[in-house]
Structure 1
């Protein structure tokens, strides 16, 4: 269902003239969910709708110039009546790696990604799951016999989704083989003074993967364990998150999920999430139907 568009009018309006005539790929999706949270009524919702365009072209010097623009429904729901610019960046790539300018994921996000497997609430207690580099510069190296690294510096994200003059920065170093992979990362937010550090690892076995991560932000520590297993179009997953705060609270979540690929970029999924009292005791069952293009 992906659409390759040549000389797309919207691409010409939203991207630099240098690449306005490049091939562009339109992408997006809509998801519908039915959710039952403990001690509440069943609700149906459309929590996400997104649309974007991306593309690349070879420059005269042989390097690759590219762009990525994505919008999504605001406030975590299409009923909010608003649309947010989720990510927007341009990049240049070559044998040296890729340099990205603009709004993109932070480098440290890859650490906890090693242990995220659930169809819905992956990384439910993750420290840096939503971190985004606002208007900054990021570098990602190429694959050097399994070794790679990344770093970024940018503006600080604020509670109202704006950027301020203070900076935030992070990095990661990763090593991957066909059997296992490990990522070490760290970061600092100059606005709040918060610092993060973490390590994550994965082990691949046939049709399955096991992952674990440890992250620390100031006095908050999070341990995550996860696994998935694929059988034809069915993917089964489980994940455990344990958070330890500066006080006596220890939020914990455990979840299991199953998703089935229907083909045509559509899938259905179900998940059950168990939370202890420190995590709000909000056990929940979720059902999803998602179509993307």
Structure 2
């Protein structure tokens, strides 16, 4: 994502101080969406502020937040920037990293979601994100720890300590040709085991995710294929959520400069929905 540097000054008085940076990036989209009954206009714009720096000893630190999240990024115990200052923050992240790994506080995905992830979706709006099987996740300010060594990556996450704890752990082995990941989540009400993998065969990339939720009678699974041809990528997916299954087909064409023409069709088991539009990255 192309970034525009806003400031690269401070900490110049002492040798060894690294310059702090504040950068802004953005994304936007516009197009048409068919919701199963009507066709409507659709558009959205988001601006993200990213801050980074480095200590004398070489530790990296930083934070990131979207402009539309600014209010909840400073939430306190009362949800409005109270005296406890961000203990129920549900937007933005703050991190510190080094040889020990990376520790992030804020609006994190669970460890399983970070390393196992989801198969590819279609459409410029996501069309309901039916390709995603879902994760238990966590609420309030959460902590996410990540560590990588060679082809192995580890992650551990926890929700706010004074709530009904939601914890997750995951491990992933990844090479240029394939990857496999295993994740576990547990909260006060449920638990889930997720297994994911991907493999690249020439121009085609195949992804698969299986999710076994303790409270669900059936195991959910999803499969996708992305096929790249020069500036065009064609994507197809199938997802079985247990009670309902569906599939999607879509394509994107890289227009250059951060813009792309994107469209898709999804049958979610209830309706057939579609969209077509232009996505933009700044």
Q: Per the shorter chain, which TM-score range?
A: 0.7 to 0.9
* Deviation larger for 110-119 or 262-271: 110-119
Alignment match, 2:4: 3
RMSD (Å) for aligned C-alpha atoms: 2.6
Alignment match, 2:151: 146
Contact 1:111–1:198 under 8 Å retained in 2:
no
In the alignment, the residues of structure 1 paired with residue 234 and residue 90 of structure 2 have an alpha-carbon distance, to the nearest angstrom, of: 29
In the alignment, the residues of structure 2 paired with residue 41 and residue 204 of structure 1 have an alpha-carbon distance, to the nearest angstrom, of: 38
The alignment's TM-score, normalised by the length of structure 1, stands at: 0.77
> Greater strand percent: which structure?
1
Instruction: Give the direction of change, closer, same or farther, for the CA distance of 1:73–1:89 in structure 2 (3 Å limit).
Output: closer
Verify: 1:283 aligned to 2:280, yes or no: no
Deviation string 1:219-256 (CA, Å, 9 cap, x unpaired) is: 33311010101111111100000121xxxxx3111001
Measured after TM superposition, the shift of residue 273 of structure 1 is 0.7
Measured after TM superposition, the shift of residue 121 of structure 1 is 4.0
In the alignment, the residues of structure 1 paired with residue 132 and residue 190 of structure 2 have an alpha-carbon distance, to the nearest angstrom, of: 15
Secondary structure in 1 matching 2:211: strand
Instruction: Give the direction of change, closer, same or farther, for the CA distance of 1:118–1:73 in structure 2 (3 Å limit).
Output: farther
Verify: 1:202 aligned to 2:198, yes or no: yes
Measured after TM superposition, the shift of residue 116 of structure 1 is 2.4
Alignment match, 1:233: 231
In the alignment, the residues of structure 2 paired with residue 127 and residue 111 of structure 1 have an alpha-carbon distance, to the nearest angstrom, of: 14
In the alignment, the residues of structure 2 paired with residue 186 and residue 150 of structure 1 have an alpha-carbon distance, to the nearest angstrom, of: 10
Measured after TM superposition, the shift of residue 73 of structure 1 is 8.0
In the alignment, the residues of structure 1 paired with residue 177 and residue 114 of structure 2 have an alpha-carbon distance, to the nearest angstrom, of: 18
Instruction: Give the direction of change, closer, same or farther, for the CA distance of 1:50–1:130 in structure 2 (3 Å limit).
Output: farther
**Residue correspondences, number:** 251
1:259 aligned residue (246, 249, 252) = 252
Alignment match, 1:37: 35
Measured after TM superposition, the shift of residue 130 of structure 1 is 8.7
Measured after TM superposition, the shift of residue 86 of structure 1 is 6.5
Unaligned runs of at least 5 residues, structure 2: 10-16, 71-88
In the alignment, the residues of structure 2 paired with residue 260 and residue 168 of structure 1 have an alpha-carbon distance, to the nearest angstrom, of: 40
In the alignment, the residues of structure 2 paired with residue 105 and residue 28 of structure 1 have an alpha-carbon distance, to the nearest angstrom, of: 21
1:215 aligned residue (208, 211, 226) = 211
Contact 2:240–2:246 under 8 Å retained in 1:
yes
Alignment match, 1:102: 106
In the alignment, the residues of structure 1 paired with residue 23 and residue 223 of structure 2 have an alpha-carbon distance, to the nearest angstrom, of: 35
Unaligned runs of at least 5 residues, structure 1: 9-18, 75-84, 157-163, 245-249
Spell out the pairing of 1:1-293 with structure 2 (5 A cutoff): 1-6=2-7, 22-38=20-36, 40-46=37-43, 48-72=44-68, 87-110=91-114, 113-119=117-123, 120-121=126-127, 123-124=129-130, 126-128=132-134, 131=137, 134-142=140-148, 144-155=149-160, 165-190=163-188, 193-220=189-216, 221-244=219-242, 250-276=243-269, 281-293=270-282
Deviation string 1:77-126 (CA, Å, 9 cap, x unpaired) is: xxxxxxxx873121111122111122222211136525224342485163
Which contiguous aligned blocks of 4+ residues in structure 1 show a shift greater than 4 angstroms?
none
Deviation string 1:200-229 (CA, Å, 9 cap, x unpaired) is: 010111222101110022333311010101
The alignment's TM-score, normalised by the length of structure 2, stands at: 0.80
Contact 1:34–1:43 under 8 Å retained in 2:
yes
Contact 1:30–1:49 under 8 Å retained in 2:
yes
Measured after TM superposition, the shift of residue 270 of structure 1 is 0.9
* Deviation larger for 113-122 or 198-207: 113-122
